[in-house]
Structure 1
Amino acid sequence: MTSYTARYQHKNKTLLSIAGVALTLGLVGCSNSDQPEAAANADGTPAAETQNIELLNVSYDVARDFYKDYNPLFVEHYKSEHPNSNILIKQSHGGSSKQALSVANGLQADVATMNQGSDIELLEKEGLVESDWESKFPDNAVPFTSTIVFLVRKDNPKGISDWQDLTKEGVEIVMANPKVTGNGRYAFLGAYGYGLHAFNNEEAPAKGYVRDMLKNVKVYENGGRAATTTFVQRGIGDVLVTFENEANLAATDFGVGQVDIVYPKYSIKSESPVAIVKSVTDKKGTTDAATAYLDYLWSEPAQQLAANLYLRPSVQSVLEKNGDKLPPIETFRPNDAFGTWDEIMGTYFSDNGVFDQLAINAPQ
C-alpha cells in the first residue's frame, strides 16, 4: 500500500512538473506574439520608427480632378524618398473664396491651393501664410494656369465665336457667381478685359458691353462645378463661361457628344497660386511634408498630369509639348489690367462695386 501510494504521488508530481513547464512555455509564446520584437536593419541595428503624416489640402472646386490623381503620384514619390513615412492626403473643395474664409475661420489646412491670389492674400493678412509666400516656389507659386473659354451646345446652334456674341438677343448664359467664386470673377474680368481691348481702353463702351452681356445671364451658380452641372446635366442655357480645363472635362467626359468648346481670340489668364499654411504646419510638425507636397507640383509627372487635365503647365517645355490640346491664345493678367487683388476686390466685387452696378439681378 505504502509503495503504491508513493509511486502514485511521484507520478502526480512528475505530471504537475511537466504541466507547469508547458504552461510557462505557453505564457512565453503569448507574450512574444503580443509584443513583437522591434524591427531591425540588415546589420542588426534598430530600424527607424515609422512616421505617420496627414496633410489637408484646401482647394477650389474644379481642382478636385487634378488633385484626385496628383495625390497618389505624390504619395508614391514621397514614400520613395522617405521609406519610413506613411503620408495621407485629405482634400476639401468648394468655391475658392469660401474655402479661404474657412481656413481663416479655423479649418486646419496644411496647404491652400486656390485659383486667385486674393484668397492667399487673405490668409497672409490673417497671419496664417508667410508674407513672402510667392517666393517659396517657382513662377510666383503658380504651378499652372488656365483661361476663360465658352462651352456651347453641340454644333454651336447660337453661332457663338467670341465675346461680342454673348450679347446677342436670345442667348442665355450660365456662369459662376463673381461675388463668391474665383471662376465667376475671372469670367467677369475676362469680359471686362475684352471690352477694354475692343474699345481702346475706353471705360464707358467697355462697361456698356459688360452690361449687355450680363443681361443675358440666366443662372449665377455658387461654384464652377455647379455651373457646369447646371449647363451640361440640367440642360440650362446656351453657353457656359468657364475655365478651359473645366470646359474640356465636360466636353471629353460627362458631356461628351453634347457640347463644343469655343476659344475667344482674347481672354484672361487665371492663375492658381499655392501656399503653405505655416501657422498650422508649424503646430502639427508637417511643414517639411507640406513643402514637399507643393514643390512636387513642378515635377514633370505633375506638370504632365496638369496638361492631361487641360491645365496650362508653368514649365514651358511641358506646355509646348502639349500644344495640340492647349492651343496658343492671347491672354492678359488681371493684375496688369485692373491692379492688385485688393484693388480688384474693392472696386469690382464689393457691395455696390462695378459688378453690382452692371449686373441686373446681381447675386449677393
Structure 2
Amino acid sequence: MPAHATTLLNASYDPTRELYRAVNTAFIADWKARTGETVTINQSHGGSGKQARSVIDGLEADVVTLALSGDIDEISRRSKLIDPGWQARLPDKSAPYWSTIVFLVRKGNPMGIKDWGDLTKPGVKVIMANPKTGGGARWIFLAAWGYGQKTYGSATGARNYVSRVLARVPVLDSGARGATTTFAERGIGDVLLTWENEAILATRELGADRF
C-alpha cells in the first residue's frame, strides 16, 4: 500500500460485511503500529457481478474482493485496472478462503427438503439471489445444473430442472444478504439456498429455534 494512502475502498460481494469489518479493525491497528499512519477503510457491498460492473463503470475501489474469479477477470479485461495475471500474485490463486452453498429450512423442515430433488416438490418456494448479479447465486445455478445433468442425463434435462427450480423463486434479490433478509426476516419461502455464513448468521441473529 502506498505510504500516502489514508483512505481505502474495498468493493466486496454481499455477505462479507462482518468478515471485513473484523479484518479491517485488525489491519488498521497493525498498520498504525508498524507505520504510525492512521488508515480509514470504507466498504462497498452488493452482488459480486453487480460490484464488478460498478468498478468497470467508475467506482474507484482500491481493493476488490469478489465471489468469482470471472468477475475480477471481467474488470481486468474491460477496465485494465487489474493485471491479467492477478491470480499468480498471491498463494492459492489469490483466494484466501472458500465456502460452500447450503440449504436453510424452517424449524422442523415442514416441507421435507433434504436434497436438490426436493426443490421441485409441490408447493415448495425457493429463496435465492439472482444469478445475473450474485456470485453465490451463480454457484447455486451451476450446482442445480449439475444435479439436473446427473439425474436426467442431458443438457436438456438439466435446463428443464433448473427452469422448474427458478419457477419456484418468488423473489430474486440482487445478492445473498438480500435473499437472507427475504427468507429470515420477511418469512418468505420454505428453503434458502445461500452461502454457509449466511445460514450461520440467520440462526445466530434470529434464533436457531426458527430454522
- TM-score norm. by structure 1 comes to 0.55
Give 1:191's match in structure 2, choosing from 144, 150, 154. Answer: 144
Q: Is the 8 A contact 2:5 2:39 kept in 1?
A: yes
| CA distance in structure 2 between the partners assigned to 1:61 and 1:251 by the alignment | 18
Pairing of 1:1-364 with structure 2 (within 5 A): 53-82=6-35, 84-125=36-77, 126-199=79-152, 202-259=154-211
Return the alpha-carbon distance in structure 1 between the equivalents of residues 208 and 43 of structure 2.
Answer: 27
Opposite residue 100 of structure 2, the aligned amino acid is T
Rg larger in structure: 1
Counterpart-to-counterpart distance in 1, 2:162 and 2:81: 36
How many residue pairs match? The answer is 208
2-structure distance, mates of 1:51, 1:206: 53
2:100 is paired with a residue of what secondary structure? strand
Contact 2:101-2:195 at 8 Å conserved across structures: yes
**Deviation beyond 6 Å, 4+ runs, structure 1:** none
- Structure 2 counterpart of 1:362: none
| Per-residue deviation, 1:100 | 1.2
Per-residue deviation, residues 332-361 of structure 1 (Å, max 9, x unmatched) = xxxxxxxxxxxxxxxxxxxxxxxxxxxxxx
Residues 232 and 255 in structure 1, CA contact (< 8 A), matched pair in contact too: no
* Contact 1:52/1:85 (<8 A) preserved: no
Once residues 133 and 4 of structure 2 are traced to their aligned partners in structure 1, the CA distance between those partners, rounded to angstroms, is: 39
Contact 1:52 1:86 in 2 (8 A): no
Pair 1:52–1:209, CA change in 2 (3 A): closer
- Cα distance in structure 2, aligned partners of 1:169 and 1:235: 19
Q: For the residues of structure 2 that align with 1:94 and 1:212, how far apart are their CA atoms?
A: 26
Task: Please state how far the C-alpha of 1:198 moved relative to its aligned partner.
Answer: 3.4
Cα drift, residue 204 of structure 1: 2.6
Q: Percent identity?
A: 47
**Aligned partners of 2:5 and 2:135: how far apart in 1?**
34
Alpha-carbon contact 1:181-1:222 (below 8 Å) kept? yes
Kept in 1, the 8 Å contact 2:68–2:135? The answer is: yes
Say which is worse superposed, 212-221 or 173-182, in terms of deviation: 212-221
1:149 aligned counterpart, secondary structure: strand
Give the aligned residue type for 1:176.
A
Measured in 1, the distance between the counterparts of 2:207 and 2:58 equals 37
Unpaired runs of 5+ residues, structure 1, are 1-49, 260-364
Structure 2: segments with no counterpart, 5+ residues = none
CA spacing shift, 1:255–1:186, aligned 2, 3 Å: farther
Q: For the Cα contact (< 8 Å) 1:55–1:110, is it kept in 2? A: yes
